[in-house]
Structure 1
Amino acid sequence: MTTAHRPRAARGLLLTVGALSVATLALAGCAGGGSSAPEALTFLKNAENTTTEPILQALADDQCAAQEETLPLEISSVPQADLDAQVQLLASQNGLPVMFSAGGNPAEGAKLWDQGVILDLDEALTDLGVKDKIAPGAISTIEKLYGGAFNFLPFQYNIEGVFYNKALFEENGWEVPTTFDELTALSAEIQAAGYTPLSASGEQGWPLTRLISGYLFRDLGPDALKKVADGEAKLTDPEYVAAAQAIADLGAAGYFGQNVTSLDYDAATNEFLTGKAAMIYMGSWLLGNINGDGNQIGAENVGFFPYPAVEGGAGDIGQYPANVGLPATFGSKTYTPEVGEWLKCIAENYGNEAAEQGQITGFISDVEVEQNEVTATIADTIATSTDSVLWFEALFNAKASNISSTNAALLVTGQISAEEFMGLVQDALDNP
């Protein structure tokens, strides 16, 4: 059993959309306008994030009590949709809080790094002697997302892969596929046995485009989509279209089921957890559902394997697609020795406290907690992975991301071709 701590009441001001101007003044005051040492560890986060605060509050009450005495933790929140604008506004007023979450667009975080207003965590954590408390794979993901530097902390960290019904596999003698060709052949066997091979939400779209990027990374290598973002390649290049075609072929064979277009995220998840689908591609956030009461196949019957290799491809099966949610960073202008003590304490203890509260993060945990096999597999993979890749839309603009997700179902149902799909997304990248 894991142990959860009861979070104390937040000391900070809970902000609403109508209070943004007041929030700006309050946070600028807490940060001292960049002209004086902070009097509190102010932390601005997105209101939708309910997982980070209980851990930080627990640390303030226990392991980081000395740091809390010197700099009291004060947490404030704004809606996620407003976070990018709020952080940029505070940065322009030299009023960033001591710690703050990234907004929804990684490019905005990269801008802050270029402006010199956020802390170099590589240097700071190395100086504090605690950089080894952050999982290398999480650092790799942050560097890929935020301008090539380690400048955000992975309070959340998810890896992606294929969850599968172990009981169903064992009953039918199916082997876990290690190549895409094996996955395709296995899907045919699963379909013949009367099950949906791969459950996916066509309504959301991104669960399908994740399969395209997975193929690209395994075939062309981990920099496949960065080359597109940098203008060195286009999604309409033949080798990129081939990835979309591979996923379109899965759809044409019916391996996503007959109702993929209408399935939303919850329905697709339910198909897997009720035993109707043998596999589902998803991130480690699915552990919440797997370990929940709605899992009819039982958590003990869920396994996990990485996106299979593409034979002859340049990618590595050990490079897991990953994301860090909305990570947090420290302002460079409010960083003092006292803030450094807080950062050190967080790095040393966040992973253990998160594990005790049943969370998996990008911080290393060395405490023994009871976990089922699939949860332990995910935790071990995160702790030992040294590299990662992103996802299809990670480096896209908002327009391209929307076109990608809204047309994915049309691709796998044959309503548009692979060439047309990739052309639509590339056009949005060229004309944001």
Structure 2
Amino acid sequence: MARFSPRSPLSDTAGVLPPLGRRSMLKGLLATAGVAALPGLAACGSGGSGGSTDTVTFGSNYSDAVPKGAVQSVMDAFTKAQNLKVTVNTKDHNTYQEQITNYLQGRPDDVFCWFAGYRMQYFAGQGLASDLSDVWTDIGANFSAAQKEASTGADGKQYFVPFYYYPWAVFYRPSIWQQRGYEVPRTFDELVALAGRMKSDGLIPIAVGQKDGWPQMATLDYINLRTNGYEFHMNLMRGKEDWQGAKVRAVFENWRRLLPYYQENALGRTWQEASDSLEKGEAGMMVIGNQVLEKTKGQLDDLDFFAFPEIDPAHGVDTVEAPIDGFMLSRKPGNPDGAKKLLRFLGGAEAPVLYTKANPSVIATNAQADTSGYNKLQRKYIDFVGQAKHLTQFLDRDTDPRFASDAATNGINAFLNNPNDIDSVLKGLADQAKTIFTG
């Protein structure tokens, strides 16, 4: 799951970074939670720069040809600017994610790739990453308050430098909507009413592909955020709220209103197959992330999105699900000064532009980055995220990976299979949360 990021495997034919499959990602999540990783990751690290003052080592999971080349162009630009060499230690996605804990406990590289939010906070709390608050003194003006929040550990210090993000929203094809006279819903009631109208018009209202177990986590996140707000959502993700409580029940009751308009056989369909329905004009809308941009490059002029609608005016649409990828500093870097110079460069305006040119489905987090080459949706993403009060990282990045991989996945699928048995679904979620978070 968002584990590299919340995306499923994509082909590299479009020249973009194919993320980990959700199941492989969950293995890495379990390692992140302290479960023993596969042996050998310690050997994957180069052991830092060994005290050399003219070299910085960089642990990368950008192993596919295009992103690997893009990362190298970033490092070459840094070397030219700072006269510091960068040794890039690249490992394939699965190895990197599955063995990250052993890697960080061994002899890791000075700077390493990782993810914002809970995933970052875990390593910071374990003392496996270094404080970057001094770096943030220099780069902080480049990022929003919400991005800084996502880069901050439980102790209030920053441990992460954001690089790019990719929001989740409700995607649709404007040409289809214009033909039918549909308007973007602003409230959940309007969304349900629109779905009913689409069904009457012979369209699949909401395209859904849940075969891999993770895509509908975004819908659960959004309905909870819109029903109960950011603070409750984050506390629920961290085991501090009751999954059998009235507030969570309200989430599933709201969600149940949408299910009559879901594409049939959602549990037997991949997100790619569901996206096909949207592309072909068979479905009216779909809750999805940047995967759809990577997959529908030929239809960018006929693809748009809107925020998941408001449920409770007290919370509005102030939170956006926008997973952030970036970089951290290992606990004992061999060249701390050089590593921080690299992180300041990565947190500057030049580096993300070099990368996003190779992967136009993602957006530079840096507000100073040149966006003149962005397509229509990339530009809209900037405003969409920039207006958010809070950013969430996707369920399987914001909670304990053991809970995400078993309880949440199984609970969501059980609910979709039998939405009238909310009691059993919530009991299962609550029982597992109690075991994982208090056991």
Into which bin does the TM-score normalised by the smaller protein fall? 0.7 to 0.9
Instruction: Report the CA distance shift for 1:351/1:404 in structure 2 as closer, same or farther (over 3 A).
Output: same
Map of 1:66 onto structure 2: 81
Deviations 1:8-30 (A, max 9, x none): xxxxxxxxx89645434xx22x4
132, 135, 152: which is aligned to 1:124?
Answer: 135
Matches within 5 A, 1:20-419: 20=41, 22-24=43-45, 27-28=46-47, 30-32=48-50, 36-46=51-61, 53-62=68-77, 64-67=79-82, 69-70=83-84, 72-83=85-96, 86-93=99-106, 95-102=107-114, 109-126=120-137, 129-143=138-152, 149-251=157-259, 253=260, 255-291=261-297, 293=298, 298-312=299-313, 314-325=314-325, 327-334=326-333, 336-348=336-348, 349-357=350-358, 358=360, 359-393=362-396, 394-414=398-418, 417-419=421-423
Map of 1:421 onto structure 2: 425
- 2: distance between equivalents of 1:345 and 1:415? 49
Query: Letter of the aligned partner of 1:121 in structure 2?
Result: L
- 2: distance between equivalents of 1:416 and 1:83? 41
The percent identity for this pair of structures is: 17
Contact conserved, 1:142 with 1:324, CA < 8 A, in 2?
A: no
Instruction: Report the CA distance shift for 1:112/1:181 in structure 2 as closer, same or farther (over 3 A).
Output: same
User: CA offset at residue 229 of structure 1?
Assistant: 4.3
Deviates more, 1:132-141 or 1:219-228: 132-141
Contact conserved, 1:177 with 1:186, CA < 8 A, in 2?
A: yes
Query: Letter of the aligned partner of 2:381 in structure 1?
Result: I
User: CA offset at residue 200 of structure 1?
Assistant: 1.2
User: CA offset at residue 98 of structure 1?
Assistant: 0.8
Aligned partner of residue 217 in structure 2, secondary structure: helix
Alignment root-mean-square deviation, CA? 3.1
User: CA offset at residue 117 of structure 1?
Assistant: 4.4
Query: Letter of the aligned partner of 1:336 in structure 2?
Result: P
Instruction: Report the CA distance shift for 1:232/1:55 in structure 2 as closer, same or farther (over 3 A).
Output: same
Deviations 1:292-333 (A, max 9, x none): x4xxxx221211111111134x323131012124x3211253
- 2: distance between equivalents of 1:236 and 1:376? 40
Contact conserved, 2:117 with 2:393, CA < 8 A, in 1?
A: no
Segments of structure 1 that go 5 or more residues without pairing to the other structure are 6-16
Map of 1:8 onto structure 2: none
Map of 1:10 onto structure 2: none
Instruction: Report the CA distance shift for 1:19/1:232 in structure 2 as closer, same or farther (over 3 A).
Output: closer
Aligned residues: 396
TM-score (norm 1): 0.81
- 2: distance between equivalents of 1:249 and 1:140? 33
User: CA offset at residue 223 of structure 1?
Assistant: 1.5
- 1: distance between equivalents of 2:118 and 2:305? 31
Map of 1:14 onto structure 2: none
Query: Letter of the aligned partner of 1:422 in structure 2?
Result: L
